[in-house]
Amino acid sequence: MTDKPHRPSKNSKRPHGGRGKPAPRRPGLPPEGPILLYGLHTVEAAFNNPDRKRLKLFATENALNRLTERGVRVDVPVENLPPRALDKMVTKDAVHQGMILEADPLPAYGIEALSGARLVLALDQVTDPHNVGAILRSAVALDADAVVTTERHAPEEGSVLAKSASGALDMIKHVRVKNMARFIAEMGDEGFFRVALDSDGEAALEDTPFTDKTVLVLGSEGKGVRHGVREACDTLARLDMPGKLRSLNVSNAAVLALYVARMKMDL
């Protein structure tokens, strides 16, 4: 199915992720206007997410066939384009795999979305979209219920975050809060055990007693978990490493922390 070439009106906002001047950035919150999602897993997950408002698919014939062969119901207008035309829609070196989906950002989930959750991962001012995308992917793989970020000092939803998450952005609740310390305190009121990862933690994470509802808190690689957020937690725990390097990238630390938590919580 092919329709007329896509030409945004002069008054329309450019989708986030393409070349040219982007729309004004709102860190941590959904961006204003459409975004571009690309790559097989990312696009497939967006089509399978009922909360995602999809607008238009730009794809090669082969890529469209790949989607339909995987059982994806393409319910938006499709514009067939050659690879070179798709290259011009995204940033240099972006691997679009022959498909780019124009879509609206996901709705911003609030704390009410955590009803019934047992394992939640909170990121205190982790700003790199590649790291947050990788963490979202790990959180889905390890069956966490949600990932929480701050409205400020966190990556906005966009092409880089979505591609790094490899579809996970559309598979898990991404909650955004204004004040992380206040959020952690509220989670305690809801019966959650709150653990902040810190190299100076009182005990190793695997030796920490967990409850059946847990929030794991990780901070940025530079500052770690901020003082006020640490104070709101029940305990500080460390990840003890057997090798010569004692520290891990935050996305790697998140994988280990989630795995240990699942084992300790018997999930």
> Is 69 inside a domain boundary?
yes
133 and 259 fall within a common domain: yes
For residues 168-187, average pLDDT: 96
Give the domain-ending residue among 83, 103, 123. 103
> Is 256 inside a domain boundary?
yes
Domain containing 197: what range?
111-265
> Is 213 inside a domain boundary?
yes
Q: What is the pLDDT of residue 7?
A: 44
Per-residue confidence at 44, pLDDT binned at 50, 70, 90?
very high
136 and 239 fall within a common domain: yes
CB atoms near residue 263 (< 10 Å): 11
Q: What is the pLDDT of residue 221?
A: 83
> Is 1 inside a domain boundary?
no
Q: What is the pLDDT of residue 29?
A: 56
**pLDDT surpasses 70 at 20:** no
124 and 227 fall within a common domain: yes
Q: How do residues 180-193 score in pLDDT, each as one tens digit? A: 999 999 999 999 99
56 and 90 fall within a common domain: yes
Per-residue confidence at 222, pLDDT binned at 50, 70, 90?
confident
CA distance 207 to 209: 6
Average of per-residue pLDDT values in the chain: 89
Residue that is written with structure tokens 């007329």 in the block: 4
**CATH code of the domain in which 67 resides:** 3.30.1330
Q: What is the pLDDT of residue 33?
A: 77
> Is 8 inside a domain boundary?
no
**Dihedral angle over CA of 164, 217, 150, 101, nearest 10:** 20
Cβ atoms of 261 and 216 within 8 Å: the answer is yes
CB atoms near residue 261 (< 10 Å): 25
67 and 141 fall within a common domain: no
- What share of the chain in percent tops pLDDT 70? 88
129 and 94 fall within a common domain: no
Tell me which amino acid residue 251 is: S
Q: What is the pLDDT of residue 266?
A: 87
149 and 122 fall within a common domain: yes
Per-residue confidence at 226, pLDDT binned at 50, 70, 90?
very high
What domain count does the chain have? 2
Per-residue confidence at 11, pLDDT binned at 50, 70, 90?
very low
Residue 242 corresponds to which tokens in the numbers above? 């057997």
**CATH code of the domain in which 190 resides:** 3.40.1280.10
- φ, ψ for residue 187 (rounded to 5)? -65, -30
Q: Which residues have a Cβ under 8 Å from the Cβ of 201 and sit 6 or more positions away?
A: 235, 236, 237, 238
157 and 260 fall within a common domain: yes
> Is 177 inside a domain boundary?
yes
> Is 198 inside a domain boundary?
yes
> Is 58 inside a domain boundary?
yes
For residues 220-229, average pLDDT: 92
Q: What is the pLDDT of residue 247?
A: 82
For residues 141-154, average pLDDT: 96
Q: How do residues 67-99 score in pLDDT, each as one tens digit? A: 999 999 999 999 999 999 999 999 988 999 999
98 and 215 fall within a common domain: no
Give the domain-ending residue among 103, 126, 155. 103
Q: What is the pLDDT of residue 30?
A: 60
